[in-house]
Amino acid sequence: MPLAEIRARIAKAETNAGRPAGSVQLIAVSKVQPLDRVQAVLDQGQRVFGENKVQEAAGKWPDFRETYGEIDLHLIGPLQTNKVRQAFGLFQHIHSLDRPKLAHTMARIAQEMGHCPQLYIQVNTGEEPQKAGIAPQEADAFVAECRSMDLPVAGLMCIPPVDETPALHFALLAKLAARNGLQGLSMGMSDDFEQAIALGATHVRVGSAIFGTRVAPNPA
């Protein structure tokens, strides 16, 4: 689907929700896509991208930045503590702050480097055992813990269970964010971004609807 069409659908969803135009940011999720597809989207003016692996991002974005200038990069996949330093050098936003140990490492490295990306706490809204994230009932305490370490918490992020109505999860995430005074809501993917916008998403993470089906498996 052309990028312009996705942008138009986002604009329509903003209007339908009575939200100001431009209040939702589109993150184009370029993981495992062939470089020519990514380049085509860059050529259409998109400058905000999401990747789910540090290594993969490190292999493509420095070159694209040379060619296209400033690009806003979002890490949306799990982050190992030994890659935090590298991630801080590449990404302006990290959506996968999902455990206390990672928060502590981020706080230490932010001190050392003198800067820290904008952080989104990943909440496991479906309480799925195999999925990363803070349990909903622990979210308030974890937000407070991160703030006590001076981490810049911009909002919350979720990936709803595949077999459940996403709207319930989006509504829960919005409620948790509101009661913690957080503005950012990273929720909504190719199949459900309009619903996410209706429920307050500030960032939608859209991959296959823009780039087409991912050509290589990417289990993370």
Which residues of this chain interact with ligand PLP, rule CB under 6 A? 29, 31, 52, 76-77, 159, 189-190, 205-209
Phi-psi region of 140 (alpha: psi -120 to 50; beta: other; left: phi over 0): alpha
What is the amino acid identity at position 82? N
Give the nearer residue to ligand PLP in terms of CB position, either 99 or 205.
Answer: 205
Residue 163 tokens, joined: 């077999």
Do 156 and 186 meet the contact criterion of CB atoms below 8 Å apart?
Answer: yes
Do 8 and 197 meet the contact criterion of CB atoms below 8 Å apart?
Answer: no
Least distance between ligand PLP and beta carbon 148 (Å):
27
Give the nearer residue to ligand PLP in terms of CB position, either 43 or 191.
Answer: 191
Least distance between ligand PLP and beta carbon 108 (Å):
25
Give the nearer residue to ligand PLP in terms of CB position, either 149 or 167.
Answer: 167
Q: How far apart are CA 97 and CA 134, in angstroms?
A: 9
> In what helix (H) or strand (E) does residue 55 lie, and over which residues does it extend?
helix 54-68
- Paired strand residues for 205: 27
Give the nearer residue to ligand PLP in terms of CB position, either 104 or 214.
Answer: 214
Closest residue to ligand PLP, judged by C-beta, is 207
Least distance between ligand PLP and beta carbon 31 (Å):
6
Least distance between ligand PLP and beta carbon 134 (Å):
15
Q: How far, CA to CA in Å, does 102 sit from each of 56, 89, 146?
A: 20, 16, 10
Least distance between ligand PLP and beta carbon 104 (Å):
23
Give the nearer residue to ligand PLP in terms of CB position, either 150 or 164.
Answer: 164
What stretches of 114-201 show up as alpha helix (H) in DSSP? Answer: 139-148, 166-179, 193-198
Do 196 and 10 meet the contact criterion of CB atoms below 8 Å apart?
Answer: no
Give the nearer residue to ligand PLP in terms of CB position, either 72 or 108.
Answer: 72
Least distance between ligand PLP and beta carbon 178 (Å):
22
